[in-house]
Structure 1
Amino acid sequence: MSARTHTRPHPATTGGVDIRLPWWALALPTLAFVALFLLILSPSNAHAATGDPALTHLFERAQQLIAR
């Protein structure tokens, strides 16, 4: 025997879309865009990261083991 479902007499929203985003949902993409834009404007500030030789050797060894 199926149970009756209760329907709401009025819609859940009051006509308009009411979506609220948290502050970081807009701030983080904006911050990332600004940071990348500044790197494009002044590429002399963007230095390549130099890896530790031991860490580089470890990654090369892991790659060799996986390739076998």
Structure 2
Amino acid sequence: MSAPTLTRPRPTAAPARVDTRLPWWALALPTLAFVTLLVLILNPSDAHAATGDPAITHLIERVQLLLARQP
């Protein structure tokens, strides 16, 4: 003989909302890392282990000149 299964009644409340807000550090830390790396690329004399091709420096300088020009 099988035993009857008990089911719980479902609540009639509205479905729960999903909170999609990010904490402040989820945006601040990647931004800080990006700015730090960008500063090291723009001023390679501060990066003591960086002895690479100066082509990246020339590219960044050109981008700065293009951004500095006012139309």
What band does the TM-score fall into relative to the shorter chain? Answer: 0.5 to 0.7
Q: What is the aligned residue count?
A: 45
Q: Which runs of 4+ in 1 moved over 3 A?
A: none
The percentage of counterpart residues that share the same residue type is 62
Higher relative contact order (CA 8 A, sep 6+): 2
Residue 3 (structure 1) shift: 3.3
Residue 19 of structure 2: aligned partner: 18
Corresponding letter in the other structure for 1:40: I
Q: Structure 1 residues 41, 5: CA separation in 2 closer, same or farther (over 3 Å shift)? A: farther
Structure 2 length as normaliser, TM-score?
0.50
Structure 2: gaps of 5 or more residues = 50-71
Gap regions ≥5 residues in structure 1: 49-68
TM-score, with normalisation over the residues of structure 1? Answer: 0.52
